[in-house]
Structure 1
Amino acid sequence: MRFHNRRTAGQELGLRLVEWASDGELFRPVVLALPRGGVPVAAEVARALGAPLDVLVVRKIGLPGRPETGIGAVVGDDPPLFDERALAMLGLTEDRLAPDVARERKELGRRALLYRGDRSTPGVGGRTVVLVDDGLATGATARAALRHLRRLDPARLILAVPVGAPEAAAEMRAEADDVVCLSRPPDFCAVGLWYDDFEQVSDDEVVEILSTHRVTSSPGTY
């Protein structure tokens, strides 16, 4: 299964989740996007569910020299979460990666302030949380985000992505109550290969999408 762009992928993902909602499976859902790429996808999911939309900023910690390959992630004030097996295989230590963690935590703070301003994060306790990204590769950022959210005591925690590596999607079942992944191609290599249009999402686009959703949504339904 291929997707035209993130918006159409979000529409298809939203339809799948609406089926669950019609069966009473989603209690007071709140949709959280992993920015930046997950935001256009999550906006369509939130629209389909009539749910509030916000972001959970997580920063990937990349392999030195290959930053696109995630070996860990950091979210909020939580300690960094590393793939311990990968560290051992590569002969890396957390101390060796401390400068990378500091850099990503600084960027995390910048983005959280830019995207949310002085707004507090939405309460998730006792609610169904739908965590959305545009795809799942190694699962490093999704795992950190899910563990962070689990500590906030949601009623149900769902990871929803249009496409993902089969192994990573299977591993996420240990972190989320449910994993909704529309496509798990056996020849998965990179998320972007499963989109016709996978242009990078800018900070301005994230801010605009979040602002538009707040204006066009009815808070009374939340």
Structure 2
Amino acid sequence: MRLPYAGRAAAGALLAEVLRDMVPQDPVVLALPRGGVAVAAPIAERLRAPLDVLVTRKIGHPARPELGVGAIAEGGRPVFDSETLDRLGLEPQDVAEVAGRERRELARRVRVYRGERPLPELRGRDVIVVDDGLATGGTARAALRAVRTIQAGWGRVTLAVPVAAPETVEAMRGEADEIVVPATPENFRAVGQWYRRFDQLTDDDVLGLLAAAGCGGTDET
């Protein structure tokens, strides 16, 4: 696998080719916004599968928001990094206020991206969860557990990302039926280092990609 990827769309196109012969027919593709949507769009197109978002939010340290201690996904419960909490001397209740704020922001983004449209029916369907890469894997773990909860055991779950830290892939093995990652470089520091172009996407970018795939949101900001 030659890195870096030219951009998210190129990474998604390559990932689509890998997935083509690996997943059952008629899957649902769920992208983690924002970056995961640009990767998922060519996958959904190549597999002729419906595309939608599964909104997630990082739960940060109360005094250091950039330091993630957990994550939450729509349809699921907060998932905390127990090792990080232990290292910081924190309990889940110590970040309850932060988790509440992120839950409210998650609900706002769901309204922006999907409006009143519910998630696609997942029970009995195979689901491909897509992001643009895995560093710590916190938001992907929350997303996978949310999908499992919604599916109630009916259907397989595949996590598909173009690039990931190798130790994170190993830590995620029990969270999905299949993990598809074309590149797991050893000197992994951040997802963006493995893309030549890694612009930060906006809500409008996400809505444009969803509209092109036949999904719609709202004008709420």
- Same fold by TM-score, threshold 0.5 exceeded? yes
| Alignment match, 1:15 | 17
Does the Cα contact within 8 Å between 2:7 and 2:197 map onto a contact in 1? yes
CA distance in 2, matches of 1:156, 1:186: 29
Secondary structure of the residue aligned to 1:32 is strand
Query: Number of matched residues?
Result: 211
Unaligned 5+ runs, structure 1: 216-222
| One of 105, 108, 115 as aligned partner of 1:107 | 105
Which range moved further: 115-124 or 57-66? 57-66
Q: Cα–Cα, structure 1 residues 74 and 197, in superposed 2: closer, same or farther, change >3 Å?
A: same
Q: Which amino acid aligns with 1:90?
A: L
Secondary structure of the residue aligned to 1:214 is coil
What are the superposed Cα offsets for residues 192-216 of structure 1, whole Å, 9 maximum, x if unpaired? 011111110100010111011117x
Secondary structure of the residue aligned to 2:199 is coil
| Alignment match, 1:143 | 141
What are the superposed Cα offsets for residues 103-155 of structure 1, whole Å, 9 maximum, x if unpaired? 11111011100000111110111111000000001111111111111121342
What percent of counterpart residues are identical? 50
Structure 1 vs Structure 2 CA RMSD: 1.4
Secondary structure of the residue aligned to 2:116 is coil
| Alignment match, 1:219 | none
Does the Cα contact within 8 Å between 2:75 and 2:146 map onto a contact in 1? no
Does the Cα contact within 8 Å between 1:27 and 1:127 map onto a contact in 2? no
| Alignment match, 1:199 | 199
Q: Name whichever structure is richer in strand by fraction.
A: 1
With normalisation by structure 1, the TM-score equals 0.91
Q: Cα–Cα, structure 1 residues 143 and 213, in superposed 2: closer, same or farther, change >3 Å?
A: same
Does the Cα contact within 8 Å between 1:146 and 1:175 map onto a contact in 2? yes
With normalisation by structure 2, the TM-score equals 0.91
Unaligned 5+ runs, structure 2: 216-221
- Pairwise CA distance, 1:77: 5.1
What are the superposed Cα offsets for residues 180-203 of structure 1, whole Å, 9 maximum, x if unpaired? 011101000000011111110100
| One of 17, 34, 56 as aligned partner of 1:36 | 34
| Alignment match, 2:126 | 128
Q: Which amino acid aligns with 1:108?
A: L
